[in-house]
Amino acid sequence: MADLSIFSARLKSARNMKGLSMDDLCASMGNIVSKMAISKYENGQLAPNSTVIIALSKALEQPVDYFFRPFSVQVESVRFRKKSSLAEKKIKSIRESIADLMERYLNIEEICNESSASASIPKMNVSSVRGVKEAAAKLRQKWNLGLSGIINVISLLEEHGVKVLEINAPDSFDGMSSLVNEKFHIVILNKTFSVERKRFTTLHELGHLVLKFPKTVDEKQEESLCHLFASEMLLPESELKRILGPVRKDISYQELKTIQLGYGISCDVIMYKAKECGIISEQRYRTFCIQKNKVARFKALIERTLYHPEESTRFVSLVYKALSKDLITISKAASLLHQDIEQIRSDLALV
């Protein structure tokens, strides 16, 4: 085997990505090898034959070439910002998944000669609510967003060099942002969430990339200020007051629905923002929360997603662009997208 050290590290990464123990992996392979053999493969003490490699590929759902590809992204550079409620095994799986997806993303960027290594996002020193609101206003101005709703948040970040990746993850994982290999700004989203929640999370994570907090701001305060940044980016306070007025006793669902459709922001966030802006009282907001928790039909109405679907498409688009320009083969495209060749042929649909 050309480089046993690469294979052994790749095998361990793929197993962690799937969240499998060595015993689990053996079972998935029909016990054609022992746990001791898997351990020796991962420690670079034994080279598997071609039959075992194919079995590993199927069990771990990775193309064979994955196990022999040199690493271009270090898993250690994918850092969770804070102590997560996820089990350590799941954190390992998510980190490995992110590193793998980033490697494939960087690979297709290089092939298409469309690297976006430098994100055009400023760093702003903030320490207060007012500072965060001013930072959001400055960024909206810098990116020529005006005061209207942002049509596509994910595309906006990708246009400014931030790589947005979506993964399947537990509900307890909202998202994260990180600087990979010390130069690539990335935002990771939970693919399973509603579009309104994804939009808010994307901008919350952007807040962590844009805002620079003093040491006096603790983790909890930082999260709260990034929440504020996200809501201001989605719907500036001045616009909410223009729409609803400076002070209201009650707000109708139809008004919330109109704002939700125009700005891609959830009814829950709108109501919380209305309370924080002083449009409604603390008591009125509390009544809203109590009603939502008590009345299932009202809760379903408030939490219904209405905004048009939004997802990260740049990576997939680059793969099909390279394929249509004959820069890569269908087999390479299948490897990059982790899809079978027939699916790639079907989706290519050249016009």
With CA atoms as reference, report the closest residue to 32 among 3, 13, 11, 56. 56
Where does 160-281 have alpha helices with state H?
195-210, 219-234, 237-244, 253-263, 267-276
- Residue ranges in the chain modelled with pLDDT below 50: none
Which residues, 6 or more positions from 261, have their beta carbon under 8 angstroms from its beta carbon?
306, 307
∠72-75-79 over CA atoms, to 5°?
Answer: 130
Give the architecture (CATH level 2) of 78-234: Orthogonal Bundle (1.10)
Within 8 A by CB and 6+ apart from 93, the residues are 16, 17, 18, 19
Q: Which pLDDT value is given to residue 73?
A: 80
The whole-number pLDDT of residue 166 equals: 92
Tell me which H or E stretch contains 302: helix 296-302
Prediction pTM value: 0.85
Question: What architecture is the 1-70 domain classified under in CATH?
Answer: Orthogonal Bundle (1.10)
For 1, 85, 172, 200, the CA distances from 225, given in Å and listed in that order, are: 52, 21, 20, 13
Determine contact, residues 332/223, Cβ cutoff 8 Å. Answer: no
- Is the backbone of residue 161 left (phi > 0), alpha (psi -120 to 50) or beta? left
Which residues have a Cβ under 8 Å from the Cβ of 295 and sit 6 or more positions away? none
CA–CA gap between residue 37 and residue 4 (Å, rounded): 14
Map residue 48 onto helix, strand or coil: coil
Q: So what's the pLDDT on residue 95?
A: 84
Q: What is the pLDDT of residues 47-87, one digit of tens each?
A: 999 999 999 999 999 989 889 988 888 766 666 655 566 77
Alpha-carbon Rg for the chain, nearest whole angstrom, is 23
CB 123 within 8 A of CB 179: no
Q: Enumerate the domain spans of the chain.
A: 1-70, 78-234, 314-348
